[in-house]
Amino acid sequence: MENLLVALFEILSFGAIVVLVVLGLGIIASMMGIFNFAQGEFVLLGAYVTYLAYTAGLPVWLGMVAAPFVVGALGFVLERLIVRRFYAAPIVAMLGTYALGLIIREIVRGLIGGLYISVPEPVGGSVALGAMHFSTWRLVIIVITALVMVASYLLLSRTSFGLRVRASLENPALARASGISTNAIYGATFAFGAALAGLAGALIVPVFSLFADLGLRFLIQGFVAVMVGGIGSFAGPVAGAAVIGTLSAALPWVIQPVVADVLVFVLAIIFIKFRPQGLVSGKGI
């Protein structure tokens, strides 16, 4: 029983990271109508920014705080310079962001080579509950993810920025006629999604280490989670991330990891075939 609770805790902490990645991916897909295939590389950049801060002699936690802002700013610049040119052709936009991700990944690979680099946990040790011990840092990851989810929901549902985002989603032409700069909204939305991925990368680098292909696993899982959860709402990607993140973390405990990955994708394909609208259908926050 104790081992089961510890395993559930580790599954929950992994699922929390997937939720962060998918939340950013889902917001971009729902609000802008494109899949950002560079989202995994934004996770990689968040981890790399944290590593650079650490090697520069700064506290690890400071690098983690800086990572989402740096990655978000880079996402905004890339949206202005490249991504926005493909909005009229979503397929081309996906290919464009995929190429962008390849470039980012190869740049990081050239900087770190084939190394696996770790940084220490800002908060070490464990929390004891009876005879069980839970990693303090994984507990921090779960708490931060929960706070970010609540803050994101409030940002999109309770602020004037969220109102303009929802208006741009529901009827872009009417929003522009009402004086809303949809281009600025799209830029801010893309930057926000990138920042969430950067935060995810910063949080996981003490757990999974930094390597050039770090973002690939989260990109594939994020894409599948968005499809399972459904596009067009805040709850859809979160629900999809909860399902896919839990399965991806739980199945390797009972079967080989490669078999577990294949089984997750097969189950996702079967589900999407019978419910193409996802777990949560419809638009809205």
DSSP character at residue 89: -
Q: Give the position of tokens 């002699």.
A: 57
- pLDDT tier at 56, thresholds 50, 70, 90: very high
Strand residues in 43-191 grouped as ranges (E): 126-129, 132-135
Interacting residues of 178 by C-beta distance below 8 A, sequence separation 6+ = 167
Cα R_g (the chain), whole angstroms: 19
Per-residue pLDDT of 262-279, as tens digits, reads 888 888 888 888 888 888
Instruction: Please tell me the distance from the alpha carbon of residue 32 to that of residue 26, in angstroms, as a whole number.
Output: 10
* 285: three-class secondary structure by DSSP: coil
Of 153-157, 181-185, 188-192, highest mean pLDDT? 188-192
Q: Which residues pair with 126 in a beta bridge?
A: 135
Q: What is the mean pLDDT of the chain?
A: 85
- Res 15: pLDDT: 79
Torsion of CA 84, 202, 238, 265, to 10 degrees: 90
- Res 194: pLDDT: 93
The pLDDT of 16-21, averaged and rounded, is: 82
- Res 181: pLDDT: 86
Of 36-40, 67-71, 154-158, 175-179, highest mean pLDDT? 67-71
Instruction: Please tell me the distance from the alpha carbon of residue 168 to that of residue 186, in angstroms, as a whole number.
Output: 9
- Res 283: pLDDT: 59
The pLDDT of 230-245, averaged and rounded, is: 78
The pLDDT of 239-261, averaged and rounded, is: 80
Higher pLDDT, 281 or 254: 254
Q: What percent of the chain has pLDDT over 70?
A: 97
Q: Among the listed ranges 69-73, 197-201, 219-223, which one has the minimum average pLDDT value?
A: 219-223
Phi first, then psi: give them for residue 171, nearest 5 degrees: -155, 90
**Is the alpha carbon torsion for 14, 202, 155, 221 positive or negative?**
negative
Q: Among the listed ranges 23-27, 55-59, 94-98, 116-120, which one has the minimum average pLDDT value?
A: 23-27
* 121: three-class secondary structure by DSSP: coil
* 277: three-class secondary structure by DSSP: coil
Interacting residues of 242 by C-beta distance below 8 A, sequence separation 6+ = 15, 19
Under 8 Å between Cβ of 121 and 68: no
* 85: three-class secondary structure by DSSP: helix
- Res 107: pLDDT: 93
Interacting residues of 192 by C-beta distance below 8 A, sequence separation 6+ = 24, 27, 72
Per-residue pLDDT of 80-137, as tens digits, reads 998 888 877 878 888 889 899 999 999 999 998 888 888 999 987 888 877 777 889 9
- pLDDT tier at 224, thresholds 50, 70, 90: confident
157, HSE (Cβ side, Cα atoms, 13 Å):
12
Instruction: Find the largest Cα–Cα distance for the chain.
Output: 63
